[in-house]
Chain A
Amino acid sequence: MTEVAAAAPVAVADGLRPLHPNQLRVWRLGWALAALALSALVLAAELAAAAVAGAPQLPGPMGTATVAVAVVAGALVWWLPRLGYDAWRYQLGPSTLELRRGVVIRSHTAIPYFRVQHIDITRSPLERALGLSQLVVRTAAATTDARLPGIAAADAERLRDVILARTGRGDAV
């Protein structure tokens, strides 16, 4: 861990903060790729059913199922990331990093700065393309699940340093 001993805490207004708006695009693009793959699978199945003799007869004209799947998946791709994005908030509290997220299962995680072992910054190709980073905060507990997506790449390192500065004098493992 870097030595950031008495660094003055960088002035960041405390309060609930949303993720970077581009994170919504990252999720939508990711989901869209999955939806596309699914539609392609259904299309392939339809083509196979039409081509192979003795396969069960399609109920409607060719492509009905594909279109239906594509429409439903498209709607989900539009709405689910929006819900997920709206549910996400993070907060740099006085002594803990707090993450609130989840649509179906709401969760509110608190990680004391004091317990932070190290912080990874990861960037998937999609995130790179949209100028985002993901912070993964690790404690000594393997079960701590503290991924903070949707941080502007420029801010990620600063945020990491802010958190590390608050861990105090840490010569942890």
Chain B
Amino acid sequence: MSPVLDVSALGRQLLAPAAVAFSAGGLRLLALGVVVVLVVRVLAWRRRTYVLERGVLRVDGGLLVRSQQLVPCERIQQVNLVQKLRHRMLSVAILEVQTAVGGPGSELRLEVLAFAEAERLRTALLAAKARVVQRRSAAGAGGREEDDVATGADEGDGHVGQDLDVASAGEGVRRPRGPESTNESPQAPPWVPAAWPVLELGYRQLAVAGLTGKELLVVLAIVPATAQLASELPWQPWDDVHLPALDVLGPTLLGALALGFVAVWLAGAAAVSIFANAGYRLNLVGDELHLSRGLLDHHETTLPLSRVQAVRVSASLHRRVLGLVSLRLQSAGTGANTEDTRLAVPILAAADLDRVLALVLTGAGHFPELHRPPPAALRRALVRHVVPVVAVALGASVVVRPWGALAFLAVPLAAGMGIAAYRGLGHALVDGFLVARSGSWNRQTVVVPVARSQSARVQAGWWQRRAGLASLLVDLAGPGPRPVVRDEASGVAEDLMARVMAGVGGAGSVSGAAGDDAVSGAAGDDASPAPGPAPPAG
């Protein structure tokens, strides 16, 4: 570990004892407390060591209770390199290694490492993982595919050096092909693949992302709070100033203030987005996605492609009008405590969607035509949106005698939302990918490789059954919302589930290769969705 102690963490640790010590015995005890904590920290730091040997990362630590964490490299889901501002000033970094299904134990944090060392360790971890995977595949009589690449000739080197022929459909999307990957020897040493740019975002695009995204709401919440704070300052200069001109200029001034407020608001939203994502660069290196972003706090995320569980495309109405979308990659490794923006594309031209999707989801072609649910679903959507509003309006008109009835004006609005919600519904199952869309204002489309699904469920409530409808829910490894195909005809939903289950593979279809890593598929389970033998195409 780097000898740099994380000062802020130290500060947090110091705070409680310091308060206790200070209240108990004044400054002398406080000093003693600080010294004790410092000594404990330094001893703990000396105890905490890590070593990478034979494909296993071992971290020892613990002062009184010794602990040892072991992470087999092939289980690694995601590696993140985080540099907060203070880390950047000291050129150190936090390395986070995410392993299994999420939850508190799934993340291993090395805090803090010298930056160069952190980078070196990350490379070593990923290389070790590739080596293990390679050995496996070599042992697997060559017939096994480590990744869900359709053709597996040069899988031996543990990288997806293969051309990604999403292009079979005529799209010109190609995967980077390392120079060495052309020699198809499975014994080839692991090459260092070139970075293949997937996406770069400039300031202008990030500003647009902030101006059209949730940053607007975030800043909107902050600005009044600041104003509130200002109004509670003990000394308020503007109280003492009385300009006679103010009475005359009042409306003008008010207008200027409002304009100023809007300007600050918009600038703030754009700034939030830029601070979070400046220098946004998403690269494809071998079979890993490398994301680096951040103006002050720098984040570098590495996610093996084979760990991508689903891709969620969302677009609010105004973004749809502008032809923009945002993406979020769901991986099994995103720990419960991590913010879910780890691997997200904040803004993307809709025209670019097919290209990016094909790169991050191996085998995904372009967005298919979606199958629309039956008209009964429209009735369900209307009822769902309108009935609660009518109920509230009835209540309001009874309680608030004359004016409460105005609440009925919201009914057409609710009906409109219902229709929009119905229009948003759709699904498709093509080439081993389930695509499900929903949402009225904010439309979400989730693309799931069916081979990644853990289980599925067709569910129908009382009213849905009366309308002959059912919803399909698909369970994925790791946290995050589940893909749902809502309000489809019940027969279609059942059929869809059967097809999804058929695409999971395992059991009969991949006899030898089955189940090397049932969590999210380092290996065998990815072999099944090969577009060719994929069960039924939508």
- A residues in contact (CB < 8 Å) with B: 94-96, 102, 104-117, 139-146, 166-173
> Is there a chain A Cβ closer than 8 Å to B461's Cβ?
yes
Q: Assuming the A-B contacts A114-B505, A140-B332, A167-B515, are A107 and B101 also in contact, with contact meaning beta carbons closer than 8 angstroms in the complex?
A: no
Q: Closest A residue to B516 by CB, please name it.
A: A171
CB of B442 closer than 8 Å to a CB of A: no
Q: Please give me the residue from chain A that is nearest to B521 by CB atom.
A: A140
Q: Which 3 A-B pairs have the closest CB atoms?
A: A114-B506, A172-B518, A141-B454
Q: Which of B101, B454, B497 has the most CB of A within 10 A?
A: B454
B88 to chain A, nearest CB (A): 35
Min CB gap A7→B, angstroms? 14
**Minimum distance in angstroms from A169 CB to a CB of chain B:** 6
Interface contact B514-A108, CB-CB below 8 Å: no
Contacts A96-B501, A107-B458, A141-B476 aside, 16 further interface pairs with beta carbons under 8 A come to A107-B460, A108-B494, A112-B454, A112-B501, A112-B507, A115-B454, A115-B504, A117-B519, A139-B477, A140-B100, A140-B478, A141-B101, A141-B455, A141-B475, A143-B475, A144-B454
Cβ–Cβ contact A112 & B497, under 8 A: no
Nearest Cβ in chain B — how far from A77, in angstroms? 21
Query: A142 vs B508: C-alpha distance in the bound complex, in angstroms?
Result: 25
The chain A residue sitting closest to B473, CB to CB, is A143
Contacts of A95 in B (CB 8 A): 501-502, 504, 506-508
Interface residues of B in 73-108 (CB under 8 A from A): 75, 100-102
Query: Quick check: A173 and B460 within 8 Å, CB to CB?
Result: no
Question: How close is B215's CB to chain A, nearest CB, in angstroms?
Answer: 30
- B-chain residues with CB within 8 Å of residue A113 when the two chains form the complex: 506-507
**Chain A hits for B102, CB < 8 A:** 142
B455 touching A146, Cβ below 8 Å: yes
18 A–B contacts, CB within 8 A, in A order: A95-B502, A96-B501, A104-B461, A105-B461, A110-B455, A110-B456, A110-B457, A112-B504, A113-B506, A113-B507, A114-B505, A114-B515, A139-B455, A139-B477, A167-B506, A170-B514, A171-B516, A173-B517
CA distance A14 to B497 in the complex (A): 19
How long is the Cα–Cα vector from A111 to B505 in the complex, in angstroms?
12
B515 in contact with A169 (CB, 8 Å): yes
Contact in complex: A172, B517 (CB < 8 Å): yes
- A96 closest partner in B (C-beta): B501
Closest to A103 in B: B462
A140–B99 Cα gap in the complex (Å)?
12
- The CB with the most chain B CB atoms within 10 A, among A94, A106, A112, A169, is that of A112
Residues of B with C-beta under 8 A to A140: 100-101, 332, 454, 477-478, 518-520
B439 at the interface (CB under 8 A from A): no
Of the candidates B332, B457, B461, the one having the most CB atoms from chain A within 10 angstroms of its own CB is B457
> How many angstroms between the C-alpha atoms of A173 and B102 in the bound complex?
13
B255 to chain A, nearest CB (A): 52
Complex-state Cα separation, A96 to B503, whole angstroms = 12
B461 near A173 (CB under 8 angstroms)?
no
Residues in chain B near residue A114, CB distance under 8 A:
504-507, 514-515, 518, 525
Tell me which residues across on chain A come within 8 A of B477, comparing CB atoms.
139-141
In the bound complex, CA of A113 to CA of B455 (Å): 10
A110 and B515 within 8 A (CB): no
CB <8 Å contact, B459 and A112? no
Residue-by-residue, is B458-485 near A (CB-CB < 8 Å gives 1, otherwise 0)?
1111100100001001011111001000
Residues of A contacting B454 in the complex (Cβ-Cβ under 8 angstroms): 111-112, 115, 139-141, 144
**A115-B506 in contact given A110-B501, A172-B518, A172-B519 (Cβ < 8 Å):** yes
Q: Are A104 and B459 in contact (CB under 8 A)?
A: no
Which chain A residues border B511 with CB–CB below 8 Å? 168
| Chain B: minimal CB distance from A166 (Å) | 7
User: What mask results when residues 367 to 400 of chain B are scored 1 for a CB within 8 Å of chain A, else 0?
Assistant: 0000000000000000000000000000000000
Bound-complex Cα distance A170 to B514 (A): 8
* A167→B518 CA distance, assembly (Å): 10
- B 46-82 to A, binary, CB cutoff 8 A, 1 in contact else 0: 0000000000000000000000000000010000000
What chain B residues lie within 8 Å of A139 (beta carbons)?
Answer: 454-455, 475, 477, 518
The answer to whether A144 touches B475 (Cβ under 8 A) is: yes
Q: Which residue of B lies closest to A111 (CB)?
A: B455
Task: Determine if B476 and A168 form an interchain contact, defined as CB atoms under 8 angstroms apart.
Answer: no
Chain A residues positioned under 8 Å from B514 (CB to CB): 114, 168-170
Q: Which residue of B lies closest to A171 (CB)?
A: B516
Shortest beta-carbon distance from B137 to chain A in Å: 15
